[in-house]
Every structure is written in C-alpha cells, then in structure tokens.
C-alpha cells in the first residue's frame, strides 16, 4: 500500500506547502491492479453477453414442437393483439407488429418539441417462424424503436439491445403456452 511521506521543506516564498512523494506500491497491490486491468480489458473485448440465451442470433425466441406454421402464426397474432399491438402476417413465415411507445419514450427519442407536435415513437416487432426440422419450429423476434414513423425521409429504426428482451420473451412464451 502506498504511504505518503513528507519531505523536508525548501526555503522559498511558498515554503508553507509541504512537498510530498508517493512511496512505491507493494507487490500485492501491483498484482491486484494488474488483475483488475486484465478483467477490464477482457470485458471490453468480449462485451456484455449472457451465457444462457435464445440459442440463435435473435432478440428473443421460443421453440414450439408439433405445430404447423399456420397454427403458430394464428396464436402469435392473437397474443400480440391482446397486448395492444397492431399488424400481422407480412409473408409466409414473417409477421410485423406495431405499437405506440410511451410518451416518455417519444420525448427521450424524438425530443420534447416533436412530442408536442404530435410525433410518436413506435415499437416495431418483427417475428419469424424458423423450421428446425422434425416438426419443431423456432418463433423468434427482433424489436426496433422507430422514430419519425410514417415519414419516408426521417423514419429510423433502432434495434433494442438484448438486455431489454424480457417483455418480448414473455410474449413469445405466452404464444408457446397457448399452443400447448
């Protein structure tokens, strides 16, 4: 541990300030500092990731066995509509759902003036059914916050981080429960 030692004063007009010098650190403290630096470096290189996840590159997912794509789509549309989302199937295996984000989210993403002017931020959920073979499918989704929605020039999608996937995983779990 470093200790502060006082050196003798020099004669100068500012002699009332003591000169200080840091004593060398102990080997134990140096080792702890090196270990902390290595952990920080490792964390910055690998990033924040969960070891348990959805098993795919998606934001949230759930596996559903012994159901057809049509049954999965119908249950997904029903669950999302019950939770206040609009939209539905946009292809054979893809669905898009949209819901207006909260006023606070709109203010934080678009600004106070835009929110007062009637601009709204939207949550856009892109859901996909992926065939895993053997009668098993994976229902997965990606979630985007859409600012400037409806404006072809200013509309911008920003993908949510996996850290915020909890509510959407619960929605997909509700779909799986409905199909059991």
What pLDDT is recorded for position 50? 41
Question: What would the pLDDT profile of 126-179 be if each residue is shown by its tens digit?
Answer: 999 999 999 999 999 999 999 877 777 888 888 988 878 889 999 999 999 999
* pLDDT exceeds 50 at position 74: yes
Tell whether 1 is covered by a domain: no
Tell whether 30 is covered by a domain: no
The range of the structural domain enclosing residue 160 comes to: 60-178
Tell whether 142 is covered by a domain: yes
Tell whether 36 is covered by a domain: no
Residue 19 backbone zone (phi > 0: left; psi -120 to 50: alpha; other: beta): beta
Tell whether 114 is covered by a domain: yes
Name the more confident of 70 and 21: 70
**Average pLDDT of span 74-92:** 92
* pLDDT exceeds 50 at position 53: no
What pLDDT is recorded for position 14? 55
Tell whether 103 is covered by a domain: yes
pLDDT band at 92, cuts 50/70/90? confident
Tell whether 21 is covered by a domain: no
CATH number, domain of 110, equals 3.30.310.80
């Amino acid at each position: 541990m470093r200790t502060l030692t006082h050196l003798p004063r020099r004669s100068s007009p500012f002699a009332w300030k003591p000169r200080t010098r840091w004593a060398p650190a102990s080997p134990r403290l140096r080792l702890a500092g090196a270990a902390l630096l290595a952990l920080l470096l490792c964390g910055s290189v690998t990033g924040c990731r969960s070891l348990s996840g959805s098993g795919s590159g998606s934001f949230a997912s759930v596996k559903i066995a012994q159901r057809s794509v049509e049954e999965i789509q119908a249950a997904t549309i029903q669950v999302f509509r019950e939770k206040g989302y609009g939209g539905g199937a946009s292809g054979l295996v893809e669905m898009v759902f949209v819901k207006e984000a909260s006023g606070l989210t709109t203010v934080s993403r678009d600004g106070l003036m835009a929110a007062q002017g009637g601009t709204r931020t939207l949550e856009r959920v892109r859901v996909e059914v992926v065939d895993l073979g053997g009668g098993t499918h994976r229902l997965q989704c990606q979630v985007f916050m859409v600012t400037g929605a409806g404006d072809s020039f200013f509309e911008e999608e920003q993908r949510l981080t996996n850290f915020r996937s909890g509510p959407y995983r619960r929605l997909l779990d509700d779909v799986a429960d409905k199909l059991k």
